Structure 1
Amino acid sequence: MASVEDCRAALDKLVEQFDEVDEETRSKHVVERTLSCRLSDLDVTFYGRIHHDGLGPFTETPFPDGRQAEIRLTITSDDLIRLINGELDMARALLGGRVKIDASLGDLLRLRRLL
């Protein structure tokens, strides 16, 4: 099992990877959304925000108004690291039940084009 620090570093890497997405693609597919990533084996949730300028940093601090994220990911710590490192295919992980995403269909399709 990966540590919270390992997962935080992986999420920071995801932010960096998202910054590499070209502006044209981002402007076409990005809609401002709040995100959460729950690590089921560590019982920790990270919160972030996707916006036109990129992917904001993830924190362990819930949204100030107490609302739920619009896109909610549930995954184990090891699978999160594998996913971000490109060792785990998102589609296979979803179909295999290793990743759970609660989001609208439109958000899922947009994310698929960005990641």
Structure 2
Amino acid sequence: MATIEECRGALDTLSDNLAKADGDVRSAAALDRSLSCHITDLDTTFTGRLAEGRIHVVDTLPGPPREKAQIRLVMTGDDLVAMVGGDLNFARAWASGRVRLEAGFRDLLKLRTLL
């Protein structure tokens, strides 16, 4: 099972990858939205913002998200680490229900380029 530190590191790596992206991915990452990532097996939530093409983690809280972020991710720590490491395809994980992504309709349309 991935640790909280490994999950935080994966989010930092994902942020770095988004910042280096070009084209449609860069455009999708350019949103300015509140963000939460709930790690179910650790019962921990990372909260922050997707802004300026990066993920800015502001807090790490026990339990599920306390407030409804504009973009919400839910998954296990192992799945987060595997996705960022390239061992798990996000679109397949999302389609199979291993990963949940919730956002407004317009944001989902924009974020689909990340799939």
| TM-score normalised to structure 2 length | 0.82
| CA positional deviation for 1:109 | 2.3
| CA positional deviation for 1:102 | 1.4
| CA positional deviation for 1:57 | 2.4
Once the two structures are overlaid, the 10-residue window that deviates more, 14-23 or 1-10, is 14-23
Any runs of at least 4 consecutive aligned residues in structure 1 with deviations exceeding 4 A, and if so which? none
Take 1:18 and 1:93, find their aligned partners in 2: how far apart are those partners?
Answer: 19
Deviations 1:84-115 (A, max 9, x none): 11111111111111001111232122123246
The residue correspondences of 1:27-106 to structure 2 (distance < 5 A) are 28-29=27-28, 30-51=30-51, 53-58=52-57, 59-60=59-60, 67-106=67-106
Q: Percent of counterpart pairs with the same letter?
A: 43
Deviations 1:40-80 (A, max 9, x none): 000000012112x221421316xxxx742101110000000
**Which has a greater percent of strand?**
2
Stretches of structure 2 that go unaligned for 5 or more consecutive residues are: none
Take 2:101 and 2:77, find their aligned partners in 1: how far apart are those partners?
Answer: 15
Take 2:93 and 2:23, find their aligned partners in 1: how far apart are those partners?
Answer: 28
Take 2:113 and 2:22, find their aligned partners in 1: how far apart are those partners?
Answer: 12
Take 1:93 and 1:24, find their aligned partners in 2: how far apart are those partners?
Answer: 21
SS across alignment from 2:45: strand
Take 1:23 and 1:94, find their aligned partners in 2: how far apart are those partners?
Answer: 23
| TM-score normalised to structure 1 length | 0.82
Stretches of structure 1 that go unaligned for 5 or more consecutive residues are: none
The residue correspondences of 1:8-23 to structure 2 (distance < 5 A) are 8-22=8-22
Q: Provide the alpha-carbon RMSD of the alignment.
A: 2.3
| CA positional deviation for 1:31 | 2.5
Distance 1:9 1:25, change over 3 A: closer
Question: Which letter does structure 2 place at the counterpart of 1:55?
Answer: R
Count of aligned pairs between the two proteins: 110
